[in-house]
Amino acid sequence: MTPSYPDSKVFYRRLDRDFRLVASAAGATIVDESGRSYLDASGGAMVASVGHGVEELADALAEAARLGFVSGAQFTHRYVEELAQELAEVLPESLQHSYFLASGSEAVETAVKLARQYWVEKGREGKWKVISRVPSYHGNTLTALSLSGREHYRKIFGPLLSEFPRIPAPDTYRHPGSDASSGAVLEAAIQENDPETISAFIAEPIIGSSAGAMVPREDYYRRTQEICRRHDVLFIADEVLCGMGRTGRWFAFEHFGVIPDILVLGKGLNGGLAPLSAVVAGRQIVDMLARGSGYFNHAQTYSHTPVICAAGLATIRYLKREGLVERCAAMEKPFFERLEALREFEVVGDVRGKGLLAGVEFVVDRTTKEPMPRSDRFAERVTSAAFENGLIVWPNVGHVDGIRGDLVMLAPPFAVTEKEIDLIVGLLEQTLEEVSE
């Protein structure tokens, strides 16, 4: 029986639809109770990087569950210590100390608070503002949503949100030569708001679903990091979606030759096994707190707890042992070669991305790049039709001007085969034929 409101007592994320009941999942395939299979081409919400149903990872969580809850305010334990060490081995030397939490939104809030405390302990209490970009997405908690450039998410919560400076994100599809793509707008925003009030600049190194896997110019982050350093502004890299191997390197910032002051991780860090995220702080930040107050003025009940840390530990070790980050890089070429076939459809304006992260943008006119009318709900219709065809993709809307802009995201597991890629593209072609009629 298909669960739905009000017969089920679950408060669903959508109350106007039925949900298929999942019976099993393995690799890139999810099977519902009727036996119907779905090819998960987006890892759920760009989460299941190692694929579904990896037994050794589930066993690792079961082992940690025997320890139960351990408060990070009172104890440490082997899962958190080993996870931090495994992560440190793939991080730059200047970025080593990890604080573990339970969601990406929570980690963004934590990173903003950490930046603020750092400046306070340095005696520069005027620095509190965080500059973010539009479009962007940093989470659904209030500060994270305040920093997000996703207007349809922000609209009804406007009275609850804080006002932070926001600048245009680089758009190498529509505006490749603009000041936003060069980083010049960041300099202007810092000057306009007074550098002595700016705590940090937060950005997704490769923009996730809010801009459809938009990859900035190669020099963009070197320029923005130089600007940040000149004005004593911390650089927070939000890699909740694009980190942990998804773009073919352990961290997306590595593609651009920069190192952030604070790194935010999630999704791929836990492989979809448990709600785990991390804030990784630069040594100068941790040293400042150690020499000053001696603690980070932040606490969450499930920070550092065994089960969530065991999920991260098992995931990182699995990624390393199976060479999945390297495999993700190797699969980039066949992945995007197959996706090029989608350009045969007049509604496909752009196919972009890195590694096994791709965005497919839909337009009315390829020449003018005119976005779809929002009234057509094109991305939603593509996603729904794909689901009925047994393909799971992730939609996003509003990235062009806060209202218009339709795209879908693809983020298959790192172990995806070329045969599965062919199947993904074939099902998406079938879907576009149906929706475009």
pLDDT tens across 368-414, in order?
Answer: 999 999 999 999 999 999 999 999 999 999 999 999 999 999 999 99
How far from 24 is each of 39, 124, 149, 238, 248, CA to CA, in Å?
13, 54, 36, 32, 28
Q: Which residues contact 272 (CB under 8 A, 6 or more apart)?
A: 43, 44, 47, 48, 49, 50, 52
Q: What is the pLDDT of residue 149?
A: 95
- Confidence band for 2, pLDDT divided at 50, 70 and 90: confident
What's the rounded Cα separation, in Å, for the pair 428 and 407?
13
Residue 365 sits at φ, ψ, to 5 deg, of -140, 125
Q: What is the pLDDT of residue 76?
A: 95
pLDDT tens across 67-107, in order?
Answer: 999 998 899 999 999 999 999 999 999 999 999 999 999 99
pLDDT tens across 193-226, in order?
Answer: 999 999 999 999 999 999 999 999 999 999 999 9
Tokens representing 330 are 């190797």
- Confidence band for 3, pLDDT divided at 50, 70 and 90: confident
Q: What is the pLDDT of residue 4?
A: 87
- Confidence band for 295, pLDDT divided at 50, 70 and 90: very high
- Confidence band for 182, pLDDT divided at 50, 70 and 90: confident
Q: What is the pLDDT of residue 231?
A: 98
Residue 351 sits at φ, ψ, to 5 deg, of -125, 120
Residue range 139-160: mean pLDDT, rounded? 95
Residue 8 sits at φ, ψ, to 5 deg, of -85, 155
Peptide bond preceding 176 in cis form (omega within 30 of 0):
no
Residue range 113-120: mean pLDDT, rounded? 98
What is the number of other CB atoms lying within 10 angstroms of the CB of residue 163?
7
Most confident by average pLDDT, 14-28, 67-81, 311-325? 311-325
Residue 386: closest CA among 413, 369, 352, 409: 409
Position with higher pLDDT, 326 vs 183: 326
Residue range 116-134: mean pLDDT, rounded? 98
Question: Which structural domains are found in the chain, ordered by start?
Answer: 22-53+325-436 (3.90.1150.10), 57-321 (3.40.640.10)
Question: Does this model's pTM top 0.95?
Answer: yes
Q: What is the pLDDT of residue 437?
A: 75
pLDDT tens across 248-284, in order?
Answer: 999 999 999 999 999 999 999 999 999 999 999 999 9
Q: What is the pLDDT of residue 1?
A: 57
Spatial contact of 352 and 359, defined as CB atoms under 8 Å apart: yes
Provide the percentage of residues in the chain whose pLDDT is more than 90. Answer: 93
Q: What is the pLDDT of residue 40?
A: 97
Q: Mean pLDDT over all residues of the chain?
A: 96
pLDDT tens across 411-429, in order?
Answer: 999 999 999 999 999 999 9
